[in-house]
Amino acid sequence: MKILVPVKRLLDYNVKPRVKSDGSGIDLAGAKMSMNPFDEIAVEEAVRLKEKGVATEVIAVSCGPTACQETLRTAMAIGADRAILVESADELQPLAVAKLLKALVDKEQPGLVILGKQAIDDDCNQTGQMLAALAGLPQATFASKVEVADGKAVITREVDGGLERLEVKLPAIVTTDLRLNEPRYVTLPNIMKAKKKTLDIVKPAELGVDVAPRIKTLKVVEPPKRGAGVKVPDVATLVAKLKNEAKVI
């Protein structure tokens, strides 16, 4: 069984985003980039399933500029067998990415697609669900545990009331939550091995997919700075300030 794992290259979560002076977007010049943390969890889970003998091949996929090759090499250093880059300089929104992934699912015929539940740059939480709808495959989102056997996947997910277990027939789409696993540390020997693994590059046109943006960003602004707090002598003063100044009660 093949497992397809989409990964996204984005601004490292330790870096504070800077808005461009013209408000057109986030300034990425010279900024540290890395793999989306939820996608890293997805790669780790796919590799663990391969180590258990459930899967025979793990394929990492990324959609974006040439620099995404670095992210794919990281995925292969974790344990992916090969990688595919859908190279595009255009802004790729969730629907476009889902269509590209659907074309690759049709081509590769994986038994399971595991991807992060959301990307930490746009927080859309849409790609996995859109892919399931386009491909006509069952989906299980926000997985905190994945068990695969007998042509089925049993997914445990956290809900408000506790834990929910879902059973889906393969092939299926699974999106990962934060507590699914802790990704392994990438060692230098594995980084060197990843350089020798196959990385194929295709264009959206070769897959027959139109990636034109459907949504236009009008302006990006930083959130307003929080004002300094004040100390109050008693509860009565606090209630008065909340009522008369903050006007929240």
Q: In order of start, what are the domains of the chain with their CATH numbers?
A: 2-244 (3.40.50.620)
Q: How confident is the model at residue 226, as a pLDDT?
A: 82
Q: How confident is the model at residue 26, as a pLDDT?
A: 87
- For the entire predicted model, the pTM comes to 0.85
Q: How confident is the model at residue 8, as a pLDDT?
A: 96
Q: How confident is the model at residue 143, as a pLDDT?
A: 94
Low-confidence ranges of the chain (pLDDT < 70): none
Q: Is 1 exposed, middle or buried (0-12, 13-18, 19+ CB in 10 A)?
A: middle
Q: Pairing state of beta strands 152-159 and 162-169?
A: antiparallel
Q: What is the separation of C-alpha 76 from the centre of its chain, rounded to a whole number of angstroms?
A: 16
Q: How confident is the model at residue 224, as a pLDDT?
A: 84
Contacts of 224 (CB under 8 A, 6+ apart): none
Q: How confident is the model at residue 245, as a pLDDT?
A: 86
Residue linked to tokens 């990688």: 83
The DSSP line for 207-240 is GT-----SS------PPPPPPPP---SSHHHHHH
Distance between CA atoms of 219 and 14, rounded to whole angstroms? 24
